[in-house]
Structure 1
């Protein structure tokens, strides 16, 4: 009787462990279209923004927009690159006139998109307007 109970416990433990392995694999398969940024430098001079850095994207494309609070100040734009290894990039644009001087500073949002067009890996870079 004790052997039967031990056997049932061992079988249930093995069955539980084997299901987690397949779940992890499914998560890894759906993790596509990652985008990463490094060596980011942002300068704001005379109402102009210049961001430089490096990007690595599974889709060779990343997106950016300028926001302040929940308001979008510069609509979504994209940058495309030929290969999918670390690449240098530069983003330049003039700050819009409708930036609120009080409250939260504006921020540049850089991100990728998955196959469904949903935002993935968002990165937020606040702009120092006082410099």
Structure 2
């Protein structure tokens, strides 16, 4: 899976690896715990050892409810250093792309609430590795 992307140089000695045309999300609402507490999201099956940042695409498709998702680097004490996304109007699709730091185990943390069966989709689009 790692070799399927294309490499492009990024600033600061990092290389950005584009994952390519990903047709299905890596996680959907049904794959996540939705209790408004932080849980691990293991990226080790997607990104290689040495990855420092990942680009995540989030799609909210909340047809019946409003949604909330927070993403942060694993073990960061302050959730304020992460990304917080919400869909304020039920039935209004929303999409965001964020870059997030990854620890050596290639794990990030998430918390979510109000996400029903397929309301939320998370996809890894790219990552950065040292040159």
TM interval, shorter chain, is 0.3 to 0.5
Higher relative contact order, structure no. (Cα contacts within 8 Å, ≥ 6 residues apart): 2
Q: Quick check: which has more Rg, 1 or 2?
A: 1
Which has the larger share of helix? 1
